Amino acid sequence: MTNKVCIILQGYAVDKVQLRKLYDYYHSLNFKIVISTYSEFCPDDLKDKQFVVLNDESLKQKDIFQPNGIVSTANYQLNTVQKGIELANKIYPECKYYLKLRADMCLDDLDKYIPEWEKRASAKSAGPIFDGKILCWAWQKKRRWKYTGGPPEYDPKKAIYVEAAPISVWHSSAPKTKEDTEIYEMPWYVFDYWAFAQKQDLEKYYSIPFVQGQPPKQIKSRSHHPDRKDKEIAWGVAYDDKIVSEQYISQTRILIDDPSLSWDEAREIYFTFDKSINCYSFSKKIYLNHKARTRRKDSVELTINIDWGDELLQ
């Protein structure tokens, strides 16, 4: 089964040593591999291989990848994925499935999961956009709690107390007090750590225009925020000129092809999820588990199973 799957390792790695370990691991499992990254992270002996594409020029083209000063990694991610898919189409035409995986992450025991994933990704989609399903890790929401004030702080240079500057942070649960906060609500979005699908579906999913410096089109969803039943939430919300990459990528293809869908409807029709597989972050040196930030030593076999918990899917 592994010879029908191409793994596209895209974007930033921690360093060349980490990317080499990741490549060697999946190569040992007989997966086809494409690496779409930057020279800084690519092992020197792999740079000239036919399965490697380096995207260094994109880092110099801020007018394209960060137009109008937007703060987002969406365009860089789209570029590395699109270039990786283009190369995979060229050198591995026999592959039926593509797995897009961030180059700084590892999915454990992938060879054991793929046979089941093949069935799920090949299940006929209930809508016209994709042939099958897009399989991802999970979906979630974020709230942004903007702390608009706080207790005065002592400034030793001026020898006086001054008002604290507003603090703006991402947080998934409520602060202790709400009197000095503003609440921003976001729709659900799909994690962008990895995505598995039939190759034509994954290519279409990521064949979307770059962010052009404006927030994505806002369309009212017919679903409601679970904590505020009276309030509708919109697709494609951006705050402080920051485009949220996962949200933009999750929604844009569907908004282009069928803007009448609510996010709940789109999620049921086009996505399926598997939160049971271990997703290890080399940059954070942890399994991305919200209940237990489990660390892994390099000597440990990649066979540990972790219960991710259902709170991610509520």
pLDDT digits (tens, 9 = 90+) for 105-135: 999 999 999 999 999 999 999 999 999 999 9
The pLDDT, as a whole number, for residue 239 is: 41
Are 73 and 122 within one domain? yes
Are 172 and 134 within one domain? no
Are 75 and 155 within one domain? no
Domain ranges, residue 46:
2-139+191-214+260-313
Structure tokens at 21: 């370990």
In a domain, 109, yes or no: yes
CA 211 to chain centre: 16
pLDDT at 11 over 90: yes
Are 80 and 96 within one domain? yes
pTM: 0.77
Least confident window among 88-92, 129-133, 212-216: 212-216
Domain count, the chain: 2
In a domain, 276, yes or no: yes
Q: In sequence order, what are the beta bridge partners of 224?
A: 232
Are 29 and 178 within one domain? no
pLDDT digits (tens, 9 = 90+) for 13-72: 999 999 999 999 999 999 999 999 999 999 999 999 999 999 999 877 876 767 666 656
Structure tokens at 76: 């860089």
For residue 51, what is the domain's CATH number? 3.90.550
Are 91 and 202 within one domain? yes
Are 178 and 96 within one domain? no
Q: For residue 243, which of 67, 45, 92 has the smallest C-alpha distance?
A: 67
Candidate ranges 56-60, 90-94, 143-147, 305-309; pick with highest mean pLDDT: 90-94
Are 104 and 153 within one domain? no
Are 157 and 276 within one domain? no
Backbone angles phi, psi at 15, to 5 degrees: -165, -175
Residue 119 DSSP SS3: helix
pLDDT band, residue 289 (cuts 50/70/90): low
3-state secondary structure 185-219: ECCCEECCCEEEEEHHHHHHHHCCCCCCCCCCCCC
